[in-house]
Structure 1
Amino acid sequence: MSPQRADAVRNREILLGTARQAVASGDLSLQLNEIARRTGMGVGTAYRHFPTRRALLEALAAPAFAGVVADARAAASHDDAWGAVAALLRGLLVRQLADAAFAEVIAADRADDALPETTALRVEFAALARTVTDRARDAGVLRADLTDDDLHHLACGVVFALGLSPDPGARLDAYLRALLQGVRAPGPA
């Protein structure tokens, strides 16, 4: 693959910046015609960089996705199996709350991915998360009746619930504690 021209790189960054502003204002529609209009670029330029709304959304989410993979890598190397689960879930919640584009991308199915980079991050995250959850199940601290998909769905549900709060950040720890209590294996009777 040949390097992009400097003006193409600049145009891509301008498009991403404009799309970030739209997301920050609560507009996740990311209509490429509107993004192009706001930048003063032609629609063709926008579509050359991002052929679909989904490709633009994934490009916006890429830094947060890379961050959650780094969080999962750190959790996988955590000494304490339960501490690793807590760190993994906390990182996933925090990143979704901070980045609406990432929240939408991580909540979707792998089959929806528009960019191979997104799928690669998703596969790496899933493998690291599986390392954490398998170790926690083996240690008897994570409920054995919950699959990794169940945990993913529960985390996305908590993010949705937090979004209903007027101050999601202030409620994060309480919701995380409730989630962790729900997924922790019951202790001996």
Structure 2
Amino acid sequence: MSPQRADALRNRDLLLETARRAVASGDLSLQLNELARRAGMGVGTAYRHFPTRRALLEALAAPAFAAVLDGARTAASHDDARTAVEVLVRGLLDGQLADAAFAEVIAALPADDVLPETTALRREFGDLTRTVVDRARDSGALRADLTDEDLHHLVCGTVFALGLAPEPPARVEAYLRVLLDGVRAPRSPDRA
């Protein structure tokens, strides 16, 4: 690896780490000029790596997106459809609660993606989610009128609701239970 290339990678990593610290402190503005200053690099260097705030946001979200995608793969391969839905929903909920950058990226429309890597992650996640939802609906474990998009929106809404709770970590399990109970297929009188 050439010294210039190694230097460029170090600068990119430093900028990402600086942005991670900003997000962890609650600052999602990701103003590249300010981040470059904090990282001790020129603004031009920052913009060469991340030409827009959205590009930086997606790069920050990539590790969390990959982890959520691993959970979705596990859910899609699970034998029990009801458990698969729970694994999928819990992974998406936990991923958004743990990583504000990921929460913003996953809540946005696919048309907002600027990095092809984000689009690829989103596409695979969508395919896996459809697999889990279709199987759960077909088995009677999930409401017949619920789509994969509905489930995604409900999880994002739950994340938002948890942000309003006075003690979000203490309420995660309760909110998750309510969400999962709400998406289950109603029991018919002969199955009650």
TM-score (norm 2): 0.95
SS of residue paired to 1:5: helix
Instruction: Name the structure 1 match of 2:143.
Output: 143
Q: Which runs of 5+ in 2 are unaligned?
A: none
The answer to whether residue 66 in structure 2 is matched with residue 66 in structure 1 is yes
Deviations along 1:113-150, one digit per CA (max 9) or x if unpaired, are 01000000000000011110010001011011111111
Instruction: Name the structure 1 match of 2:178.
Output: 178
Instruction: Name the structure 1 match of 2:92.
Output: 92
Alignment: residue pair count: 188
The amino acid across from 1:168 in the alignment is P
Instruction: Name the structure 1 match of 2:75.
Output: 75
The amino acid across from 2:7 in the alignment is D
1:167: how far off? 2.6
Instruction: Name the structure 1 match of 2:126.
Output: 126
Q: Which runs of 5+ in 1 are unaligned?
A: none
The amino acid across from 2:29 in the alignment is S
Could you tell me how far apart the structure 2 residues matched to 1:113 and 1:167 are?
A: 32
The amino acid across from 2:159 in the alignment is V
Matches within 5 A, 1:2-13: 5-13=5-13
The amino acid across from 2:82 in the alignment is W
1:158: how far off? 0.1
Instruction: Name the structure 2 match of 1:51.
Output: 51
Could you tell me how far apart the structure 2 residues matched to 1:20 and 1:164 are?
A: 23
1:171: how far off? 1.0
1:151: how far off? 0.8
1:166: how far off? 3.2
The amino acid across from 1:71 in the alignment is G
Could you tell me how far apart the structure 1 residues matched to 2:40 and 2:10 are?
A: 13
Alignment root-mean-square deviation, CA: 1.4
Could you tell me how far apart the structure 2 residues matched to 1:20 and 1:108 are?
A: 20
Instruction: Name the structure 2 match of 1:115.
Output: 115
Instruction: Name the structure 1 match of 2:41.
Output: 41
Could you tell me how far apart the structure 1 residues matched to 2:168 and 2:63 are?
A: 21
Deviations along 1:63-111, one digit per CA (max 9) or x if unpaired, are 0000010000000111100000001000000010000000000000000
